[in-house]
Amino acid sequence: MAGPTDREGIVMAKPPLSMKPTGWFQVAWSTEIGVGEVLRMTYFDRELVAWRAHSGALTVMDAYCEHLGAHLGFGGRVEGEVIECPFHGWQWNGEGRNVCIPYERHPNRGRRIRTYPVVERNESIYLWHDLDGRAPFFEVPDIFAGFGDGSNRADYYPMATLFRERLALHPQYVLENGVDSAHFKYVHQTPIVPVFTRHDFAEPVSYVDFTITFDGDEGQSIEDVRSGVQAINGGLGVAVTKSWGMVDNRTITAVTPVDEHTCDIRFSVYIGRTTGADPVKAERRAQDFAAEIIRQFTRDVRIWQHQRYSDPPALSASEFTGFTAIRAWAKQFYPDGRGGSAAELRVLAADTGPRPPAQ
């Protein structure tokens, strides 16, 4: 039977790569969850709730109450540092522990709602996902501190963002874009094909730098180009970039699996502040530039959402090193160490943890 179709009526292929990779994945922007608020979300085929305690602490946990299975995202309330279930008032803390049964003398100390490691960084909320329940073994790259250049948020205008939901693609498609030199000319109309100056895939956080220009004509030599991009990939889910030699911009690309077929994409763009006679005009120019970066990104998205993973791909000579390196590096984030999803069955079979009730 054909699978589900996307908005354009095209059958969505289940990516051959596992949709349950390990790593940090963005699940929201920080401003989406204010103090005392509860947000429902579905990622990695699980119903989740994110809530912010009065102290500001953020928790992401499975959505179902361990008592009788109410969904905490429908009527659950934040009370100080705990979330209270709408069904019988049981209270759960940020570690998923039951701390109060209002009509009993003691809480249930044995039961726990599964919680996930979270970090808030660069106005984004990242969740650590690992089928084996391992603790985070790398950090989410910081768009400012990560480049070690002394920059910080205050040097940039407010962030511009793009959110695209439930697209039939895989995080690895998006990441491979970073080593795909030829696409810049065809998808983004750069005058010449960029040249890579760094491919460092030694660790779970990897680095890719390239020389690129969006100006000039096709006849120019890459040796004369004085602009480029540095990218830091934090696993498969998050990539941050810094540009140099052009309008100062930084981006965060985050791709998060929703279910076996689709991912959400979040794209955040910061443009560097400029000093000048007319700050209003400068900010408007920055907004226009951010809009153009987002427009370029949507050109990639249109390719990715209809792409089918090619393995092994037909690589040209100049593409071979980059793609081979990134694909070998990517394997460490998959449950079977290869990219397939077979090992998920093993892990899920061994998962004797709580299950949401049948619906």
Q: Beginning with the edge strand found earlier in the chain, give each strand of the sheet holding 238-244 in spatial order.
A: 160-167, 263-271, 249-257, 238-244, 228-234, 205-211, 195-200
Q: Name which position in 35, 68, 145, 348 contacts ligand FES (CB under 6 A).
A: 68
CB 93, min distance to ligand FES, A = 14
Beta partners for residue 207, in sequence order: 200, 232
CB 106, min distance to ligand FES, A = 15
Q: Strand, helix or coil at 23?
A: strand
Q: Name which position in 130, 176, 300, 344 contacts Fe ion (CB under 5 A).
A: 300
68 binds, among ligand FES, Fe ion, none (CB under 5 to 8 A by kind): ligand FES
Yes or no: say if 1 and 11 are a contact pair by the CB < 8 Å rule: no
Neighbours of 195 (CB within 10 A): 15
177 binds, among ligand FES, Fe ion, none (CB under 5 to 8 A by kind): Fe ion
264 binds, among Fe ion, ligand FES, none (CB under 5 to 8 A by kind): none
The Cα–Cα gap between 239 and 175 comes to 7
Alpha-carbon separation of residue 126 from 59, 206, 276 (angstroms): 11, 18, 36
Choices 13-21, 81-89, 140-148, 291-299; region in contact with ligand FES by CB under 6 A: 81-89
The radius of gyration of the chain's CA atoms, rounded to the nearest angstrom, is: 22
When the beta carbons of 130 and 300 are compared against Fe ion, the nearer one is 300
Q: List all residues 6 or more positions away from 340 whose beta carbon is below 8 Å from its beta carbon.
A: 16, 17, 18, 334
- The interface mask with ligand FES, positions 38-67, x = CB under 6 A, is ---------------------------x-x
Q: Name which position in 4, 34, 74, 88 contacts ligand FES (CB under 6 A).
A: 88
Looking at residue 330, its amino acid is: A
When the beta carbons of 98 and 256 are compared against ligand FES, the nearer one is 98
Choices 12-20, 122-130, 233-241, 295-303; region in contact with Fe ion by CB under 5 A: 295-303
Alpha-carbon separation of residue 5 from 11, 104, 172, 309 (angstroms): 4, 49, 21, 17
CB 300, min distance to Fe ion, A = 4
Q: Tell me, by CB under 5 A, how many residues bind Fe ion.
A: 2
Q: Name which position in 17, 49, 70, 169 contacts ligand FES (CB under 6 A).
A: 70
Q: List all residues 6 or more positions away from 280 whose beta carbon is below 8 Å from its beta carbon.
A: none
85 binds, among ligand FES, Fe ion, none (CB under 5 to 8 A by kind): ligand FES
Stretch 253-292 residues interacting with ligand FES (CB under 6 A)? none
300 binds, among ligand FES, Fe ion, none (CB under 5 to 8 A by kind): Fe ion
355 binds ligand FES per the rule CB under 6 A: no
Residue 254 Rama label (left phi>0; alpha psi -120 to 50; beta) = beta
Q: Beginning with the edge strand found earlier in the chain, give each strand of the sheet holding 98-100 in spatial order.
A: 77-79, 82-84, 91-93, 98-100
- Name the residues that contact ligand FES, by CB under 6 A: 65, 67-70, 85, 87-88, 90
Residues that bind Fe ion (CB under 5 A): 177, 300
